Chain A
Amino acid sequence: MTGDPIYTEMIIEYSKHPSNFGEIENPDISQHDSNPLCGDSIDLQIKINENKVSDIKFKGKGCSICIACTSVLTELVKGKDLDEVKKIEKNDVLGELGLEHLIRTSPVRIKCALLSLKALKYGIYSYFIEKMKDEKSAGNLKEEATNLY
């Protein structure tokens, strides 16, 4: 199966040894999301310090695409300023794993790949609205999450 466009060595590795898997004590953001179609289910937890993501972890059950993409997303986000995190797009995650083609080729599996990005956007939105009472910073994140796939 060399040259498989989805199941690359990197994806298999990430799915067997995910990055940032686990839980955080007293997180500032706790966001759950699931994919009713296939039962992928993840919990993202984020710690914020001085408007930066000081720590991020996730737990969940999912297919290899879901787990690999969530791993990559946590790596992308860790240590970044929230203003940068807000700007993360589909291809930032997919590109890391060479999965951009899923947008075209697999309307089913793209949902597995982007579940964690959707949860992240919702989580940050709720953080700004509920904890910081800052509607301006929350911006369009909720719409972006809803329309992600």
Chain B
Amino acid sequence: MQTALSLETIRKDFPILQRKVRENKLLVYLDNASTSQKPIQVIDAINDYYKNQNANIHRAVYALAEEATEAYENTRTKIAKFLNVQKREEIIFVRGTTEAINLVAYSWGRQNVNKGDIIVTTEYEHHSNIVPWQLLTKERGAKLEYIGVDDNGELILDQLDSYLETGKVKLVTFSQMSNVLGTITNTDEIIKRCKKVGVKTLIDGAQSVPHMKVDLSKLECDFFAFSAHKMLGPTGVGVLWVRKEVLETMQPFHGGGDMIREVHKYETTWNDLPYKFEAGTPNIADVIGFSAAIDYLNKIGMDNIRNHEIELTKYALDKMSKVKGITIYGPKDIAKRGGVISFNFHDVHPHDVATIIDKDGVAVRSGHHCAQVLMERLDVAATNRASFYVYNTKQEIDALIGSLNKVAELFKL
């Protein structure tokens, strides 16, 4: 990796990568699209907060509370800078991508989506970008439509045009990178077409932000959501970014402490942005842990991370395609995909594959990946998925290939 840090140094920062699993096998962790491992810097930051700073934020005047508030709010500023956002009040802390999308569906959706309106999503969405819209459209008498996926694993954008032509579309919501196929969405093109007819856009960045540079000052979407735990940070923290002009029109999601200005018996006025959308005591420790994760990513550099993953993905695709009986899904063009490779063996159930290779300490995901709509489109019950991150090595991919060859041998493929 062309960076100030060598791969060897990076791996030493992740205590879990030193452990053995099953029969004394070194862990080969290839389920990063599900959640990433955490460097010691993140673990220490959370520990340090509980040991030295633990206090509730935004309220008390004593020293601890001041320090905790500062650490929490500094993270907001850091994230704004990370995404090139000028207005830090556009950054809302939530539990994760799922909560972020639900917030938009509940708050913005119920105010703006009415009978006969259309919400457009895609066939390669995670359930978290489908189910909230099913709930909303059913409640409002609106319709949910899907942009299809072609045989190369890319979106069929002509279908977007036909939905937009109806004049009824209120929102187009899509993932910037498919969590199953690894396809990188042609985000600029979708947003351009939507803006031309005044339709709002939401981007699910859960798979993209951890792996490539995202500049929100250039993307002209209206909502953007992602999670900390897929980018070296802790679970239970995520971010919703909303363009200020839109955020200012939105009613609160949750009511409670911290989101209010004044509460009287029958009337309440709201706190300023972003606090209006952060009811209750937030996940302070993990937000502070997230701050350390962003420092770590910045130290390596997002472009270096992307390049490292391109190299690993190329290497893996080349070797995997030579394994007997294997089918690999998603775009062939490396520029169009992230470090996520879904595959199946002819006639071998993905759970059998995962169990066999788990014995060698290789962790891949098997199942529907919370993308059952896509599984239907691919006409499979499930797939196996290997996904890479900053600490993975070519030797680990070799270990995966060795285990996959065992599967082929065992099932006589």
Contacts and interface: CB of A to CB of B under 8 A. Distances in A.
A133 B249 CA distance: 62
A16 to B, nearest CB: 8
Interface string A78-92: 000000000000000
Given A63-B352, A64-B348, A65-B352, A39 B382 contact: yes
A107 to B, nearest CB: 13
B409 interface: yes
Interface in B171-217: none
Nearest to A61: B381
B323 interface: no
Query: Which one of B349, B409, B411 has the highest number of Cβ atoms from chain A below 10 Å of its Cβ?
Result: B349
A15 B359 CA distance: 20
A62 B411 CA distance: 15
B61 to A, nearest CB: 50
A84 to B, nearest CB: 31
Interface stretch (A1-9, A48-56, A138-146): A1-9
Contacts of A66: 349
Contacts of B359: 4
B382 A7 contact: no
Query: Which one of B351, B368, B406, B412 has the highest number of Cβ atoms from chain A below 10 Å of its Cβ?
Result: B351
Contacts of A112: 351
Interface residues of B, number: 19
Nearest to B359: A4
B409 A38 contact: no
Interface in A37-80: 37-41, 61-66
A64 B366 contact: no
Contacts of A32: none
A1 B402 CA distance: 12
Nearest to B366: A38
Interface string B333-357: 0000000000000011111100110
A7 B356 contact: yes
A6 B409 CA distance: 15
Given A61-B381, A64-B349, A6 B366 contact: no
A121 to B, nearest CB: 23
Interface string A5-42: 01100001001100000000000000000000111110
Contact of B406 (A1, A61, A62, A64): A1
By secondary structure, the B interface counts as mixed
Nearest to A39: B381
B286 to A, nearest CB: 27
A15 B406 CA distance: 17
Query: Which one of A6, A63, A112 has the highest number of Cβ atoms from chain B below 10 Å of its Cβ?
Result: A63
A1 B351 contact: no
A1 B381 contact: no
Contacts of B4: none
B63 interface: no
Nearest to A5: B359
Contact of B351 (A4, A16, A38, A41): A38
A4 B403 CA distance: 13
B69 to A, nearest CB: 42
17 contacts: A1-B356, A1-B406, A1-B409, A1-B410, A6-B355, A7-B356, A7-B410, A12-B410, A12-B411, A16-B347, A38-B350, A39-B381, A62-B349, A63-B352, A64-B348, A64-B352, A106-B355
Ranked 7 nearest A-B pairs via Cβ: A63-B349, A63-B351, A39-B381, A38-B351, A63-B352, A64-B352, A1-B410
Given A38-B351, A65-B351, A66-B349, 10 more contacts: A1-B409, A1-B410, A4-B410, A6-B355, A7-B352, A12-B410, A38-B349, A38-B350, A63-B352, A64-B348
